[in-house]
């Protein structure tokens, strides 16, 4: 966990209600929000039920499932690492998430182990590399020589800031986690939706966001309608639990997906009077499938449910990502696809999987033999990292909040403001000596 890192978030608050109308943020904060979609469910349960977490919230059946795995003895699993894989599932986007300003996922990084006898002729053409320690090599030795993986992709090394969204992008985030490009029109529309035409009732504040706040946001994104307001009010977590808007039942997985998938028969004991399932008698393959829920990334769940799960703020987050522009707001289409449909980490696809989810392809790794200083390199061609966009032309980052305070200073009610499109030529550009001049031009 990146300890001590902090970032600041500008928020617009309704003073009377102490309620956040929206936040204005750049790439660092939005990257963190989007990374929630890559977290496997097991990781979410683990992070939010840590002893340090005073609320000790339970996430329904998922918490029960996690506790069941945790209580089972290792002998019930195929391998000794099986249990650990479920309790500490890997994030297939871990390489990206490690670059987040605040990375709450403390799952150990992927390690690589090679056969100590790596130059032995007996290996010709057979695998001698494993992500698990002490797996038997084809030559009979145990693979226990840990190898360092060196990223050979220059772009991967150079891209120092920005993970998913472009560095120049600025966003408006509503209290229920809708993310929108930061445009004056968006802000004005949002304020009028909230009926806030008088800027006097509003106040701009700065919020410090560290590890604890990000964990609270993750929790709020799952349980609250107002995760940002919860963050401001601090106090005990309000746990404004959202009931599924669609009522008692979760939406169905679309039929087209359904018909292509394997099925598993399960015997269930049902209470006749209430039609309630009491318990099910299942084969081990079903248990295998059930446990695999812990390894599925949150974004995959939303994707399987067609963008409509029972968590409102998560739906908002997911669907705003859908409408953000790849290239302009998200660094690339590859990254956008990766977030909209996060895959399982390598080796995490259980053979009894019913759901149409995939695991990431194993990267092709090359070993550079250099005695005790041997190392691995990753020569993946289609790395989702792109060179950064040049930011030379941006002098002052655009800020909707500063526009609002400008309106306030000028005593202009928001009801009096509308968004217009204007044609900008050389002449207009010449007038943009300062931010206020630009605002002045726009409002004319």
Give the residues lining the site for Zn ion (CB under 5 A): 115, 117, 128, 137, 139, 141
Give the Cα separation of 414 and 225 in Å (integer).
Answer: 26
23 versus 128: smaller Cβ distance to Zn ion? 128
122 versus 358: smaller Cβ distance to Zn ion? 122
37 versus 128: smaller Cβ distance to Zn ion? 128
65 versus 128: smaller Cβ distance to Zn ion? 128
Q: Is residue 286 within 8 Å of residue 264, measured between CB atoms?
A: yes
Handedness of CA 241, 47, 176, 37 (dihedral sign): negative
Give the residues across from 375 on adjacent strands.
368
122 versus 267: smaller Cβ distance to Zn ion? 122
CB of 374 to Zn ion, least distance (A): 14
CB of 112 to Zn ion, least distance (A): 14
Q: How many CA atoms lie within 13 Å of 360's alpha carbon, on the beta-carbon side?
A: 25
Give the Cα separation of 62 and 229 in Å (integer).
Answer: 26
DSSP characters over 10-59: EEEEETTTTEEEEEEE-HHHHHHHHHGGGSBHHHHHHHHT-TT-TT----
CB of 115 to Zn ion, least distance (A): 3
Give the residues across from 279 on adjacent strands.
269
Beta-carbon contacts of residue 414 (< 8 Å; ≥ 6 apart): 188, 191, 192, 196, 197, 198, 199, 404, 407
CB of 123 to Zn ion, least distance (A): 5
CB of 377 to Zn ion, least distance (A): 20
Give the Cα separation of 39 and 369 in Å (integer).
Answer: 35
Instruction: Decide the pairing of beta strands 276-281 and 365-368.
Output: unpaired
118 versus 228: smaller Cβ distance to Zn ion? 118
CB of 118 to Zn ion, least distance (A): 7
Torsion of CA 230, 233, 238, 242, to 10 degrees: -30
CB of 259 to Zn ion, least distance (A): 45
41 versus 137: smaller Cβ distance to Zn ion? 137
């Amino acid at each position: 966990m990146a300890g001590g890192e902090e970032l600041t978030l500008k928020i617009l608050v309704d003073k009377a209600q102490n309620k956040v109308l929206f936040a204005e943020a750049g790439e660092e904060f939005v990257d963190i929000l989007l990374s929630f979609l890559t977290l496997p469910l097991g990781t979410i349960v683990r992070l939010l039920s840590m002893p340090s977490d005073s609320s000790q919230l339970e996430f329904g059946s998922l918490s029960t499932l996690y506790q069941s795995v945790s209580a089972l003895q290792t002998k019930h699993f195929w391998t000794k690492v099986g249990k650990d894989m479920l309790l500490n599932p890997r994030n297939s986007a871990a390489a990206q998430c490690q670059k987040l300003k605040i990375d709450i996922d403390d799952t150990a990084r992927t390690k690589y182990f090679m056969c100590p006898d790596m130059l032995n002729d007996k290996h010709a053409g057979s695998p001698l590399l494993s992500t698990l320690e002490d797996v038997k090599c084809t030559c009979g030795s145990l693979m226990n020589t840990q190898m360092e993986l060196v990223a050979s992709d220059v772009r991967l090394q150079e891209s120092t800031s920005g993970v998913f969204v472009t560095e120049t992008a600025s966003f408006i985030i509503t209290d229920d986690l809708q993310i929108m490009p930061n445009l004056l029109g968006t802000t004005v529309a949002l304020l009028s939706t909230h009926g806030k035409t008088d800027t006097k009732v509003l106040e701009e504040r700065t919020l410090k966001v560290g590890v604890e706040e990000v964990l609270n946001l993750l929790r709020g994104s799952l349980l609250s309608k107002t995760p940002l307001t919860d963050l401001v009010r601090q106090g005990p977590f309000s746990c404004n639990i959202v009931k599924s808007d669609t009522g008692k039942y979760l939406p169905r997985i679309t039929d087209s997906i359904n018909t292509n998938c394997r099925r598993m028969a399960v015997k269930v004991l049902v209470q006749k009077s209430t039609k309630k399932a009491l318990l099910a008698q299942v084969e081990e393959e079903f248990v295998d499938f059930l446990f695999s829920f812990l390894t599925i990334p949150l974004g995959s769940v939303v994707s399987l449910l067609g963008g409509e799960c029972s968590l409102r703020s998560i739906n908002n987050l997911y669907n705003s990502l859908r409408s953000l522009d790849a290239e302009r707001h998200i660094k690339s289409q590859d990254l956008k696809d990766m977030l909209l449909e996060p895959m399982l980490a390598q080796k995490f696809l259980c053979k009894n999987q019913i759901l149409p989810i995939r695991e990431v392809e194993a990267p092709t790794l090359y070993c550079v033999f250099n005695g005790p200083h041997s190392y691995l390199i990753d020569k993946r061609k289609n790395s989702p990292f792109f060179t950064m966009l040049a930011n030379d032309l941006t002098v002052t980052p655009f800020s909707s909040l500063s526009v609002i305070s400008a309106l306030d200073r000028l005593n202009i009610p928001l009801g009096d403001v509308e968004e217009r499109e204007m044609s900008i030529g050389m002449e207009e550009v010449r007038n943009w000596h300062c931010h206020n001049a630009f605002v002045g031009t726009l409002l004319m």
